[in-house]
Amino acid sequence: MGISEPFDAAIEALIRRLSLRDHLPEDERNALRSAAVRSRNFAAGDDLVVQNSKPSVSMLIASGMVARYNIIDDGARQITAFHILGDFVDLHGFLLSRLDHSISALTEVTVVEFPHEALEHITEQYPHLTRMLWLSTLLDAAIHRQWLVAIGRTSAMSRLAHLFCEQFVRAGLVGLATQDSFPFPITQAQLADALGISPVHVNRTLQELRARAVLEWHGGIVSILDWPGVQSIGKFDEAFLDIEHRRR
């Protein structure tokens, strides 16, 4: 195995995630496999991409967790997305000239790189696979919209619960969750930056969730104790993740 292992893990997870939405024929799977050129490792805290850069590759996550974020001039930070195994973190960088945000590793991370020429080749040769990759960026946008709704119009409690629900379902889609738990190896401060609240209030709110006995979060693992309860607090409806197998 050696060098081929991260390739396999990441690409098969991507294929698995896409296959939930439509069948991927073997030639398209192979096109994906041969578009990846190499893997790269990052330590926790490293930036994979910095704002305003013009990357020439897009990165698929093979292990670990990353965040996309923006820094505001006063030093505040807003995380706009979390990504895990099988997520194409900056696929949009293929068509956007310069990235409007940075991406940093929340844990140790391994990614697989896809040169933009290889992606362009896919768009020239494989229309259906192109639609599936396009879909993958549309799902990211749908998640952005859910975050907007949560941050704009719901309480800290709801936002927190909603995010846990989303991460639980997404981890499950790539085989990283058990029936009632999933890895969530970040700090309360990072979570605060994603939810648009202060770290202190994240702590307060977590205690309330713990007191209500709907979930626990220790040692980087979230355990769901009462799934309907969390969903209801978070007003979570997984429809936006569009997990439906059909021709696209």
Partner DNA sequence: TAGTCCCACTAACCTAGGTAATAGCGCCCC
Partner DNA sequence: GGGGCGCTATTACCTAGGTTAGTGGGACTA
Report what 206 binds from DNA, a copy of itself, none; CB cut-off 5-8 Å by kind: DNA
- What does the alpha-carbon distance between residue 167 and residue 165 come to, in Å, rounded to a whole number? 6
Binding mask 169-208 for DNA (x = CB under 7 A): ------------------xxx------xxxxxx-xx-xx-
Q: At what angle do helices 127-153 and 156-173 cross, to 10 degrees?
A: 160
Write out the two tokens for 200.
């202190």
Report what 117 binds from DNA, a copy of itself, none; CB cut-off 5-8 Å by kind: none
Sign of CA dihedral 70, 196, 143, 84: positive
Q: Shortest approach of DNA to residue 207 CB, angstroms? A: 5
Q: Which residue has the tokens 């629900």?
A: 165
Backbone angles phi, psi at 78, to 5 degrees: -120, 120
The helix (run of H) or strand (run of E) holding residue 187 is: none
Write out the two tokens for 231.
């969903």
Q: Could you tell me if 232 and 226 are in contact, meaning their C-beta atoms sit under 8 angstroms apart? A: no
Among 19, 41, 70, 181, binds a copy of itself (CB under 8 A): 70
Q: Shortest approach of DNA to residue 38 CB, angstroms? A: 28
**Binding residues for a copy of itself, total number by CB under 8 A:** 49
Write out the two tokens for 86.
């099988």
Q: Shortest approach of DNA to residue 51 CB, angstroms? A: 22
Of 140-159, binders to DNA (CB under 7 A) are 155-157
Q: Could you tell me if 227 and 2 are in contact, meaning their C-beta atoms sit under 8 angstroms apart? A: no
Q: Which residues in this chain contact DNA in the complex, by CB under 7 A?
A: 155-157, 187-189, 196-201, 203-204, 206-207
Q: Which residues in this chain contact a copy of itself in the complex, by CB under 8 A?
A: 52, 68, 70, 72-73, 76-78, 80, 92, 95-98, 100-101, 120, 123-124, 127, 130-131, 134-135, 137-142, 144-149, 151-154, 195-196, 235, 239-240, 242, 244, 246, 248
